[in-house]
Structure 1
Amino acid sequence: MQKNVELKDFLLEKAWDLTEQWYDSLDKSDPTGVYSTKDPAAIKVLKEQNYSFHLLFCNLFVQDEDEFLRSLEKWVHAVASDDEHLSTPGHFIIREFFRTREQYLGFIQEFIADGTKSFSHEDVSLLNREVTNAIDKIVIWYMEKFHEFSLKRLRSQQEMINELSAPVITLNGDIALLPLVGDIDTMRAKYILEQTLHQCSEKSVSTLLIDLSGVVMIDTMVAHQLFQLIESLELIGVKAILSGIRPEIAQTSIQLGLNFDKVDVSSNLSRSIQTLFQTK
């Protein structure tokens, strides 16, 4: 046990050297991610994170496994959730964990080589195994959290994209515009329906222009969702007017047997707006 305490102290004294050596030997040519940053502030944070890891990891040799892993919990959560690491490919992060493992194995050999301590082959093998097993567990734990936080960020970004993809824009009084752009799949169509009804009710809209000039193609399910939106709007007292239907969409709609007889349709958005404002 005394030798383990001395090994811990030896590594603690070299903790900052470990960080500097690690950063100096870092492959900074990664195409993306925290390790290729040239921002001095980001580099400072990266080094501090690495140094904090060493201060905690040195306790591996004097703590039981449960206590040791508990001490790393805050570090794992903090680093796995920060934006710089979330923007770094996972395999780059794993690579750096493994390089850190090699650093520790090298410093253990340096500690043993000074000749002041007697280590058997079994002692050395045990220390190497402890380091390897600990890094392996931390990597798995870290990547689980990394995946969890990545999914949260992805969901948050998707929600923002969805909100921006279905904006009900007030034009004048109770007239509003819903400009639809890009591909619309079934999931997005459902979101558009829900958000449009909510926004029209919230903004007291009586007439909604739905402009499809930015939509290249729709499939059967999306087309039916669109008609469901128009019918739902009618139920809450909102008149829907379609504009900007591209020839491809018109052709697809006819092939699908969709009936536009009960829907006001205009060739383009400007004509719809002009007609509406003239009648107001």
Structure 2
Amino acid sequence: MQRNKELHQFLLTKAEQLTEDWYASLDKSGTGVYASTDPEVIRELKSQNFEFHQHLCKIFIMEKSAFFDEFDDWVQEIGRDPEHLNTPTHLIMKEFQRVREQYMNFIEEYSKTTEDLVSQKSLDIWKYAIIEAVDVVMTRVVEEKSKHLNARIEEQQQTINELSSPLIDLPDGKALLPLVGDIDSDRATAIFENTLEGCTTKRVDHLFIDLSGVYLVDTRVAQQIFQLITGLKLIGVTATLSGIRPEIAQTAVQLGIDFGEIRITSNLAQAISSEATLTRD
């Protein structure tokens, strides 16, 4: 059995020493939280490590599932901690492995100081319990960190997509959508959704879409761009396309897109000028 109240108490009394020994032997030449010279960051790092030891030694007095459940708050704290998010994952894993080795040494020390004779089988069970616990907690921290980073990347990508499809107000219910750079499927979808919503919110009745800064699209993206014209028409917005490059025109023709009802000009200046002329007439 891995349960052993005396071993738990022994390790608990060693928690502070474990933290100080660990930090003293830490390789501080790398990057991230372990290399920080900020006193507050160092204090928080030691506090997190000390709390880890307080949790870990409970593996010898708690039922396994309850033990890991109790660890969840600590795991989420570390996985979302800004300092650890900016620390390479392989360095975090390395420190978990070093801590695990600390426990192997202290278990050996306990076996030599206890009055009871400790069998090799008991030593193996205790060591395996620590190895399993550290590995599970390490995996959960890495997973939490990865999940949080992915969520942050998605938020940043959404912001980039929104900024990359700006709807610029013009007088008299008109607006301009200048598109620049390569457009992939995700960005094309964002452009479609943001533009329709923006035109509705701003009460736009005529939108100039300038494609002169777009050099490369695939067939699916080209189709989505022209579907935007249909979507705009459905909400009562007239669209004028300008600056279509030959590559995009070829893709559109291959797709069989009908330009019959779409206003097209060679450049943006001509589009605005033509609209102004129509308005005066």
Report the TM-score, using the length of structure 1 for normalisation.
0.84
Partner of residue 193, structure 1:
192
How do 1:5-24 residues align onto structure 2 when only pairs under 5 Å count? 5-24=5-24
- Counterpart Cα distance in 1 of 2:205 and 2:148: 41
1:74–1:228 Cα change, 3 Å: same
2:28 matched to 1:28? Answer: yes
Deviates more, 1:186-195 or 1:141-150: 141-150
Which stretch has the larger CA shift, 204-213 or 260-269? 260-269
AA aligned to 2:53 is H
| Distance (Å, rounded) in 1 between the aligned partners of 2:235 and 2:14 | 70
Q: CA deviation at 1:197?
A: 0.9
- In structure 2, how many angstroms separate the alpha carbons of the residues matched to 1:122 and 1:80? 35
The one-letter code sitting in structure 2 at the alignment partner of 1:127 is: W
Letter in 2 for 1:123: S
**Cα shift at 1:125:** 1.9
Greater displacement, 186-195 / 86-95:
86-95
- SS of corresponding position for 2:236: coil
How has the CA–CA distance of structure 1 residues 46 and 210 changed in structure 2, closer, same or farther, with 3 Å as cutoff? farther
SS in 2 for 1:212: strand
Are 1:74 and 2:73 counterparts?
yes
Deviation string, structure 1 residues 123-150 (Cα, Å, up to 9, x no partner): 2222212111211222333344334334
Q: Tell me which moved more, 108-117 or 66-75.
A: 108-117
Q: Which residue of 1 aligns with 2:156?
A: 157
Q: Are residues 8 and 158 of structure 1, via their aligned partners in 2, closer, same or farther at CA, if it must alter by over 3 Å?
A: same
Partner of residue 136, structure 1:
135
- What's the secondary structure of 2:264's corresponding residue? strand
Q: Hey, what's the Cα distance between the residues in 1 that align with 2:39 and 2:206? A: 53
- The superposition leaves residues 162-206 of structure 1 with CA deviations (integer Å, 9 ceiling, x where unpaired) of 222323222334221222222212332223212211110111011
Shift of 1:233: 0.9
Report % sequence identity: 47
What is the CA distance between 1:35 and its match in structure 2?
Answer: 3.2
Comparing 262-271 with 218-227, which one deviates more in the overlay? 262-271
Stretches of structure 1 lacking an aligned partner (at least 5 in a row): none
Q: Any residues of structure 2 matched to 1:1-280 within 5 Å, and which?
A: 4-30=4-30, 33-114=32-113, 118-254=117-253, 258-273=257-272
- Judged with a 3 Å threshold, the aligned counterparts in structure 2 of structure 1 residues 176 and 139 are, in CA distance, closer, same or farther, namely same
CA distance in 1, matches of 2:89, 2:201: 43
Distance 1:113 1:196 in 2: 72
Question: Which range moved further: 144-153 or 204-213?
Answer: 144-153
- Partners in 2 of 1:263 and 1:183 — Cα distance? 23
Backbone CA RMSD of aligned residues: 2.9
Determine if contact 2:223/2:255 at 8 Å carries over to the other structure: no
TM-score for the superposition, normalised by structure 2: 0.84
Contact kept in structure 1, 2:15 and 2:53, CA below 8 Å: yes
For 1:223, the aligned partner's letter is A
Q: Which amino acid aligns with 1:16?
A: E
Give the paired residue count: 278
Summarize deviations over 1:226-267 as a string: whole Å, max 9, x none. Answer: 111112212222121223333443454455554545333333
Distance in 2, Cα, partners of 1:38 & 1:170: 49
